[in-house]
């Protein structure tokens, strides 16, 4: 036996049919709520100019500094595999002049993301995200609507234990004051900071707030909080978002330490957590990014978005024992006995498929017993059997697989009969 030479790249995985269909089920919950709310699907390329990501994220962001898959193409251009969806969508918004469309522009996507991170359960080097972006509306109601949309999808998936955390990280006007207060505070307590957080303190101090390090967390208890530094407009905006959520009875936790990793966020940031234990329990998150369109060369345009990781949602569904409602696939197995019946079966399968009837069968293989055993295994409700007698009489045997009852019908009527039985109009 030859030794297998290739395997999936570290941190990447194959999705086999059962898992893939669960994946589709989870993604469909998000896609449906987005379509109902008037979002249009967008797809952007996997490869973008590397600069798109380094420009939009800013300095000291792991996503760019440590996790970006860069590649140099044959004409020496530096490209990057998409690590997140927002930057590409905003690039497309600008490139296609979507600023002249009625605002806001509401887009959703479901695409693969690539991050060179240390793989573990719930963290992969290629993963899929569903995301929405609402570009061109500064109202607090839109933040609340995006949060509601995500919450609705989690509910449709019957993930009851998902919780919401929310915070405001201010804007370019008020955040620098907070940043300074935070840096001063952290410097005073630098001895207690974990090694990695000392590095963060010098590169991207806000990131220290969501540190998982125990020693850092101790001093974060008394750290200055952004909510006390918000300027009046940011304060009003955040109060507005919370009022809308309160009005709908949404429960949330105010988490002053929530900053989210990326630099482009302004004002509202939020994150949904699952019940699963462990550090990879964030199912999705988002926030406002009122400065990003301008950073990428457009006129100042407010925007808000959300993205969820589908693999994490599947793990959450596993843990919560959520399975999709069983779908009995209406499919017929075509079996044949003997040489002349072989061609009749081959033709019948193709006519059934032409007629939108799902049909399978092993035309020139196996005896009739093996064929019917396979039909049984596949769990099809019906089989059509063509033997020599049937070929001669231009008929077919229709077998109910559950009861074993058989009836003879004219071969030319099989497609219409099955369409009727399967309710195909
Ligand atoms: P982020 O914008 O980094 O918060 O990513 C949004 C969501 O994508 C997260 O809440 C996770 O559910 C998911 N996610 C992020 N990175 C990974 C990864 N490396 N593997 C699997 N899922 C991920």
Residue 419 φ then ψ, to 5°: -60, -40
Q: For residue 15, say if its preceding peptide bond is cis, omega within 30 degrees of 0.
A: no
Per-residue pLDDT at 166:
98
**Ramachandran assignment for 85, one of left (phi > 0), alpha (psi -120 to 50 degrees), beta (any other):** alpha
Residue 44 Cβ contacting ligand 1 at under 6 Å? no
SS3 label, residue 200: helix
Per-residue pLDDT at 348:
97
Q: What is the pLDDT of residues 378-390, one digit of tens each?
A: 999 999 999 999 9
Q: How confident is the model at residue 341 (pLDDT cuts 50, 70, 90)?
A: very high
SS3 label, residue 97: coil
If you take atom 13 of ligand 1, which residue's CA is the nearest one? 309
If you take atom 15 of ligand 1, which residue's CA is the nearest one? 309
Instruction: Calculate how far, in angstroms, residue 340's C-alpha sits from the geometric centre of ligand 1.
Output: 57
Instruction: Calculate how far, in angstroms, residue 90's C-alpha sits from the geometric centre of ligand 1.
Output: 19
As a whole number, mean pLDDT of residues 311-317 equals 96
Atom of ligand 1 at shortest distance to CA of 115? Answer: 19
Residue 309 Cβ contacting ligand 1 at under 6 Å? yes
As a whole number, mean pLDDT of residues 291-320 equals 96
Q: What is the pLDDT of residues 41-65, one digit of tens each?
A: 999 999 999 999 999 987 778 888 8
Q: Is the pLDDT of residue 377 over 70?
A: yes
Atom of ligand 1 at shortest distance to CA of 125? Answer: 19
For residues 189 and 219, the answer to whether their CB atoms sit within 8 Å is yes
If you take atom 3 of ligand 1, which residue's CA is the nearest one? 261
Q: Of 116, 122, 129, which is best to mutate to test ligand 1, by the most ligand atoms within 8 angstroms of its C-beta?
A: 129
Residue 312 Cβ contacting ligand 1 at under 6 Å? yes
- In angstroms, the CA 239 to CA 260 distance is 20
Q: Of 82, 127, 313, which is best to mutate to test ligand 1, by the most ligand atoms within 8 angstroms of its C-beta?
A: 127
If you take atom 17 of ligand 1, which residue's CA is the nearest one? 123
Per-residue pLDDT at 219:
92
Percent pLDDT > 70 in the chain is 99
Instruction: Calculate how far, in angstroms, residue 285's C-alpha sits from the geometric centre of ligand 1.
Output: 8
Per-residue pLDDT at 69:
97
Residue 123 Cβ contacting ligand 1 at under 6 Å? yes
On the 0-12 / 13-18 / 19+ scale of CB atoms within 10 A, 129 is: buried
Handedness of CA 349, 353, 359, 364 (dihedral sign): positive
Q: What is the pLDDT of residues 158-187, one digit of tens each?
A: 999 999 999 999 999 999 999 999 999 999
This prediction's pTM: 0.92
Q: What is the rounded radius of gyration, in angstroms, for the C-alpha atoms of the chain?
A: 28
Q: Of 116, 163, 312, which is best to mutate to test ligand 1, by the most ligand atoms within 8 angstroms of its C-beta?
A: 312
Residue 307 Cβ contacting ligand 1 at under 6 Å? yes
**In which order are the strands placed within the sheet that holds 47-49?**
47-49, 78-81, 70-72
Q: Is the pLDDT of residue 395 over 80?
A: yes
The pair of three-digit structure tokens given for residue 184, joined into one six-digit string: 């001063």
Instruction: Calculate how far, in angstroms, residue 116's C-alpha sits from the geometric centre of ligand 1.
Output: 12
What is the residue-wise DSSP string for 202-253? HH-GGGGGG---HHHHHHHTTS--GGGT--HHHHHHHHHHHHHHHHTT---E
Q: What is the pLDDT of residues 58-111, one digit of tens each?
A: 777 888 888 999 999 999 999 999 999 999 999 999 999 999 999 999 999 999
Residue 285 Cβ contacting ligand 1 at under 6 Å? yes
Residue 282 Cβ contacting ligand 1 at under 6 Å? yes
Instruction: Calculate how far, in angstroms, residue 247's C-alpha sits from the geometric centre of ligand 1.
Output: 29
Instruction: Calculate how far, in angstroms, residue 309's C-alpha sits from the geometric centre of ligand 1.
Output: 5
| Distances from the Cα of 289 to the Cα of 43, 95, 225, 268, 270, angstroms | 20, 18, 20, 9, 12
Q: Is the pLDDT of residue 405 over 80?
A: yes
Instruction: Calculate how far, in angstroms, residue 280's C-alpha sits from the geometric centre of ligand 1.
Output: 8
Q: Is the pLDDT of residue 263 over 90?
A: no
For residues 109 and 89, the answer to whether their CB atoms sit within 8 Å is yes
- Stretch among 228-232, 269-273, 275-279, 293-297 having the lowest mean pLDDT: 275-279
Instruction: Calculate how far, in angstroms, residue 335's C-alpha sits from the geometric centre of ligand 1.
Output: 47
Per-residue pLDDT at 362:
82
**Could you tell me the maximum CA-CA distance found in the chain, to the nearest angstrom?**
95
If you take atom 21 of ligand 1, which residue's CA is the nearest one? 123
Q: Is the pLDDT of residue 279 over 70?
A: no
Q: What is the mean pLDDT of the chain?
A: 94
Per-residue pLDDT at 303:
98
For residues 405 and 399, the answer to whether their CB atoms sit within 8 Å is yes
Residue 302 Cβ contacting ligand 1 at under 6 Å? no
């Amino acid at each position: 036996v030859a030794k297998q030479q290739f395997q999936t790249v570290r941190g990447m995985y194959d999705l086999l049919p059962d898992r893939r269909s669960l994946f589709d089920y989870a993604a469909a919950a998000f896609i449906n709520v987005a379509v109902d709310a008037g979002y249009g699907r967008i797809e952007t390329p996997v490869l973008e100019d590397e600069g798109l990501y380094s420009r939009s994220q800013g300095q000291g962001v792991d996503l760019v500094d440590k996790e970006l898959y860069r590649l140099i193409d044959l004409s020496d251009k530096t490209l990057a595999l998409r690590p997140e969806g927002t930057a590409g969508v905003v690039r497309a918004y600008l490139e296609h002049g979507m600023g002249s469309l009625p605002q806001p522009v509401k887009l959703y996507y479901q695409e693969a993301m690539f991050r060179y991170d240390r793989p573990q359960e719930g963290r992969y080097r290629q993963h899929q995200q569903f995301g929405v972006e609402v570009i061109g509306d500064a109202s607090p109601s839109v933040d609340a609507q995006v949060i509601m949309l995500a919450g609705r999808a989690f509910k449709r998936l019957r993930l009851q234990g998902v919780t919401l955390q929310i915070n405001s990280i201010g804007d370019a006007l008020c955040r620098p004051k907070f940043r300074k207060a935070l840096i001063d505070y952290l410097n005073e307590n630098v001895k207690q900071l974990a090694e990695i957080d000392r590095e963060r303190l010098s590169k991207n101090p806000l990131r220290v707030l969501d540190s998982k390090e125990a020693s850092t967390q101790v001093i974060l208890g008394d750290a200055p909080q952004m909510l006390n530094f918000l300027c009046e407009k940011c304060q009003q905006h955040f109060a507005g978002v919370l009022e809308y959520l309160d009005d709908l009875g949404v429960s949330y936790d105010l988490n002053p330490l929530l900053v989210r990793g990326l630099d482009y966020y302004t004002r509202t940031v939020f994150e949904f957590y699952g019940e699963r234990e462990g550090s990879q329990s964030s199912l999705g998150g988002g926030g406002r990014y009122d400065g990003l369109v301008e950073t990428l060369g457009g006129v100042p345009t407010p925007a808000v978005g959300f993205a969820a990781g589908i693999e994490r949602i599947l793990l959450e569904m596993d843990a919560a024992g959520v399975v999709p409602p069983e779908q009995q696939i209406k499919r017929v197995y075509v079996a044949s006995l003997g040489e002349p019946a072989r061609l009749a079966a081959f033709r019948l399968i193709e006519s059934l498929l032409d007629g939108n009837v799902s049909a399978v069968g092993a035309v020139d293989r196996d005896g009739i017993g093996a064929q019917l055993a396979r039909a049984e295994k596949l769990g099809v409700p019906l089989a059509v059997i063509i033997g020599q007698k049937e070929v001669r009489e231009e008929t077919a045997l229709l077998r109910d697989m559950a009861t074993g009852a058989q009836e003879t019908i004219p071969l030319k009527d099989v497609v219409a009969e099955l369409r009727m039985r399967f309710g195909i109009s």
